[in-house]
Amino acid sequence: MRNLKSIALALVALATFTVSAQTKKINVSKSTINWVGKKVTGEHSGTINFKEGNLVFNKGLVKAGTFTVDMTSINTTDLKGEWKDKLDGHLKADDFFGVEKFKTATLVFKNISTKNKNNYTVTADLTIKGITKPVTFDLVVNGNTASANVKIDRTKYDIKYGSGSFFSDLGDKTINDEFELKVNLAW
């Protein structure tokens, strides 16, 4: 009897969450991802587009999130002409993101810790090139927008090109293992 009561209470709690939860689908044309990759001799920056995504709120608090990024949209913004085309092509090639085979990357929130009503620490599963690893970042919600700065160690996703962690004697050709994403969401 006690087990039936526990099950019934769990079902009521789930039903309450489901009824009061709101899914906010992001506006992919207004949401942005800006990236920065650094190397010994400087850095490059650019954009990449969302394919889809949403945040789930319950009683005004973020409770879940799922996002898909269009890896074929990688775009360098600090170069023009031939050099831009070369870098875009290299980032899309197998040395980096292999977008012909891996057209999307995904991010799924797994653990959300509330700092206060609008600030969260999120641990999520990030999948790049078919490899899933956890990442942790802070998420700030402000009205119908949210933002996060995320640092990603590319070598965890088998992106080792130019990494001083894997190759010696690279000198000024060394590329940092981490790249940075500045994410702005709008719904």
Which DSSP string do the residues of 149-181 spell out, in sequence order? EEEEEGGGGT--TTBTTT-SS-GGG-EEEEEEE
| pLDDT number for residue 86 | 96
pTM of the model: 0.85
| pLDDT number for residue 2 | 58
Least confident of 36-40, 91-95, 175-179: 175-179
Looking at the DSSP bridge assignments, the partners of residue 145 are 142, 186
Mean pLDDT of 76-89: 97
| pLDDT number for residue 35 | 98
Which DSSP string do the residues of 45-79 spell out, in sequence order? EEEEEEEEEEEEEETTEEEEEEEEEEEEEEEESS-
Q: State the sign of the Cα–Cα–Cα–Cα dihedral 86, 84, 154, 29.
A: negative
Label residue 102 left, alpha or beta by phi (over 0 means left) and psi (-120 to 50 means alpha). Answer: beta
DSSP 27: -
| pLDDT number for residue 167 | 62
- Band (175; pLDDT cuts 50, 70, 90): confident
- Reply yes or no on whether the pLDDT at 19 is more than 80: no
Distance CA 64, CA 109 (A): 6
Task: Enumerate residues 6+ apart whose C-beta is below 8 A from 137.
Answer: 121, 122, 124, 148, 149, 150, 151
- Reply yes or no on whether the pLDDT at 55 is more than 80: yes
HEC-encoded secondary structure of 76-137:
ECCCCHHHHHHHHHHHHCCCCCCCCCCCEEEEEEEEEEEEECCEEEEEEEEEECCEEEEEEE
What single-letter amino acid sits at 24? K
- Reply yes or no on whether the pLDDT at 10 is more than 90: no
- Reply yes or no on whether the pLDDT at 14 is more than 80: no
pLDDT in tens, 114-167: 998 899 999 999 999 999 999 999 999 999 999 999 999 999 999 886 665 666
